[in-house]
């Protein structure tokens, strides 16, 4: 419960600072471009457009649980769905599912976040727009990349041999696809196979 309260408090603080930050980013973008040497991919939208997009997300109606569940296929690259859940306990919709083969040697996990509403827009800003980075150590890496023409976050955890890809879809969704013992190409292939259209 404490984590939920802390998350919601952080979300409100981020949204409150969003318009102010957008103005600062717009006026100091020349200075920032010279200091962000470790950022391989910048956001594809100017700060003012990002603020407008976040405002639009805040006003979107939430997707139903049936709409979110429909985005989780029965099979993913020939791996059967072993479990799934759909909820809105954090103030925005989340659908997630696990896919694995019979001997459990390969596994995919898909999480789809519907970033409508105030809490959803704050999550989108914190987990996606607010994150331009590159880091690497002996346990793996995480970096901003370009995926399907937009910024995405690619990650790798060496101990579990897990690749991950976080990317946006349909101007409101954040999608996380993780693959254990699958390789990066398979994670991207699984991500490309998802039907993430919102009617």
The whole-number mean pLDDT for each consecutive block of 10 residues of the chain, a chain of 199 residues, reads 39 41 38 35 55 89 94 96 93 96 92 95 85 88 93 95 96 96 97 92
HSE-up (13 A, CA, CB side) for residue 113? 24
The first and second tokens of residue 128, run together, are: 């996606």
Query: What's the pLDDT at 100?
Result: 95
State the pTM of this model: 0.76
Closest CA to 121 of 10, 3, 6: 10
Phi, psi torsion values for 54, nearest 5 degrees: -65, -40
Tell me what pLDDT residue 94 has: 97
CB-CB contact of 87 with 94 (8 Å):
yes
Cα separation, 88 vs 185, whole angstroms: 31
85's tokens: 């859940």
């Amino acid at each position: 419960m404490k984590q939920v309260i802390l998350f919601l408090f952080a979300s409100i603080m981020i949204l409150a600072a969003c318009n102010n930050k957008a103005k600062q980013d717009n006026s100091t973008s020349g200075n920032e471009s010279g200091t962000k040497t470790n950022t391989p991919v910048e956001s594809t939208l100017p700060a003012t457009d990002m603020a407008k997009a976040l405002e639009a997300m805040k006003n979107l109606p939430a997707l139903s649980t049936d709409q979110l569940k429909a985005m989780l296929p029965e099979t993913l690259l020939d791996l059967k769905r072993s479990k799934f859940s759909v909820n809105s306990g954090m103030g925005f919709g989340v659908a997630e599912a696990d896919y694995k083969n019979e001997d459990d040697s390969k596994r995919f996990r898909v999480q789809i976040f519907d970033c409508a509403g105030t809490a959803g827009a704050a999550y989108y800003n914190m987990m996606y727009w607010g994150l331009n980075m590159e880091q690497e150590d002996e346990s793996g890496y995480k970096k901003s990349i370009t995926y399907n023409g937009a910024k995405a976050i690619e990650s790798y955890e060496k101990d579990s041999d897990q690749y991950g890809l976080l990317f946006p879809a349909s101007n409101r969704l954040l999608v996380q696809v993780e693959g254990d013992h699958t390789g990066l190409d398979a994670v991207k292939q699984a991500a490309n196979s998802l039907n993430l259209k919102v009617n």
